[in-house]
Amino acid sequence: MSAPLVIAGAGIGGLSAALALARAGRRVLLLERAPKIEEVGAGLQIAPNAGRILAGLGLEEELRAVALEPAAINVRRGHDGAVLARLDLAGTRARYGAPFRVYHRGDLQQVLLQAADDEPAIEIRTGARVGDFEDCDGAVRLRVHAGEGVEEIAAAGLVGADGQRSAVRGHLLPTERDAPVYSGLTAWRALVPAESAPAALRARESNLWMLTGAHVVHYPLRGGEIVNVVVIVATPRQDDQAAVLSLDGAALARALHGRRPAPMLSALIEAGAVWRHWPLFARPPLSRWSRGAVTLLGDAAHPMVPFLAQGAAQAIEDAEALGRAFLTLGASVETAFSAYEKSRIDRASRVVRASRRQGDYFHLGGLGAVGRDLAIRALGGRGMLARNDWLYRQPRGQSAT
């Protein structure tokens, strides 16, 4: 039997890529470093650009069962809660071909994992860390660390979907200034039982609150039983080890006090029993993702700050483009990888840059914030949604679903 395509990393990117490649008729070996495939973190917004692709992979029924479709996104002034714009999401499916959904990360990953498990062309191995590799004569020999041992595996091609600290990228592009750096921003994440959240914040809607140097996003999950809350705050340089740090709600609310959050927002933050600390890393876009029969996908290729809620969505777009490259170009891995990169790099790079700008916009203070709030009111919900047409509409060349 010919060598499979190997994917390093079974995050949302790697699992989606495995499915897209299998649907394109390729055999896939998916190697995951962790002993068990499970998502850390809590909620994930899946915008229509990614929802369309997941539906195209044949997962619509399973996804609908675990998703929640918020009715609207409320953009709020953080210090008094005033709604500056209400983005009505009811017409999202008609406008973009898929609804705007939110998921518990674990639920979305389980749907992808189950589909990959059911797919005979995909083999999944956990506890298998991809180490270094050689790419020679259109094939890849990689070393995989499993338990105490190291195994050599022959692959037709290697896809590094191994996240922002990608080992594959480290071997592939050792000379680029490519290591993600701390963005100066930290996320605090918590799941709040709905009955503990202020009553006015329990609706099936998403909310964005803008404060000076900080913003908060929250939305309901799992039928509205829990509220996923993310607080993003400008924070001086962190020791990476601090990623495991946690705070209780009262302590986090105290830390934000100087940014003058509205009482209702403070009450929501206080209602979170455990807040997990998540330093945000990013990097200017790379100029290439591939060399020979090795390529990158998802956060390994384009780590970004999460202010357009597009990191996973872009990984899913990568997966679709990778599958399409094999479907339309046939057997040569190098040709397919090169076509995949060409079709994706400009768009993903644009999203990386736009995500950073979006954070700066959310965090304005003083007169800048006043001008921003006036502009948002003038645009209104429709205008605000239309600003994301370029993201949510089907890019040229993407497979219709």
Instruction: Please report, as ranges, the residues that interact with ligand FAD according to CB under 6 A.
Output: 8-14, 31-34, 44-45, 129-130, 161-163, 167, 187, 189, 230, 278, 280, 298-299, 306, 309-313, 315
Are 21 and 28 in contact by the 8 Å Cβ rule? The answer is yes
In eight-state DSSP terms, residue 45 is E
Residue 340 known to be catalytic: no
Closest distance of CB 66 from ligand FAD, Å? 15
Tell me which DSSP letter residue 359 carries.
H
- Tokens 């205008």 correspond to 383
Nearer to ligand FAD by C-beta: 8 or 116? 8
CA 91 to chain centre: 23
End-to-end C-alpha distance for the chain, whole angstroms: 32
Q: How far is the CB of 109 from ligand FAD (least distance, A)?
A: 9
- CA–CA distance, 373 with 377 (Å, rounded to integer): 6
Q: In what order do the strands lie in the sheet with 139-146?
A: 128-136, 139-146, 149-155
135, β-bridge pairs: 140
CA distance 298 to 283: 13
Cα distances from 312 to residues 47, 69, 79, 270, in angstroms, run: 10, 17, 30, 29
For 292, residues 6+ apart whose C-beta sits below 8 A from its C-beta are: 135, 138, 140, 334, 337
Burial class (CB in 10 A: 0-12, 13-18, 19+), 331: exposed
Reference 265, options 222, 215, 191; nearest CA is 215
Residue (42 or 197) nearer to ligand FAD, CB: 42
CB 265, min distance to ligand FAD, A: 18
Which is nearest to 277 in space by CA: 250, 252, 310? 252
> Smaller CB distance to ligand FAD: residue 216 or 315?
315
- CB of residue 209 to ligand FAD, shortest distance in Å: 15
User: Tell me, what DSSP letter sits at residue 291?
Assistant: B
Q: Which of 219, 340, 361, 392 is catalytic?
A: 219
Q: Find the shortest distance in angstroms from Cβ 367 to ligand FAD.
A: 29
Give 78's DSSP letter. Answer: T
Choose between 195 and 360: whose C-beta lies nearer to ligand FAD. Answer: 360
Which of 127, 380 has the CB closer to ligand FAD? 127
Give me the least distance between CB of 334 and ligand FAD, in Å please: 22
Compute the least distance from the CB of residue 120 to ligand FAD, in Å: 22
Instruction: Give me 28's structure tokens.
Output: 């896939």
Q: Is-contact 319 20, C-beta < 8 A?
A: yes
Q: Cα separation of 110 and 106, whole Å?
A: 6
Point out the residues that are catalytic.
219
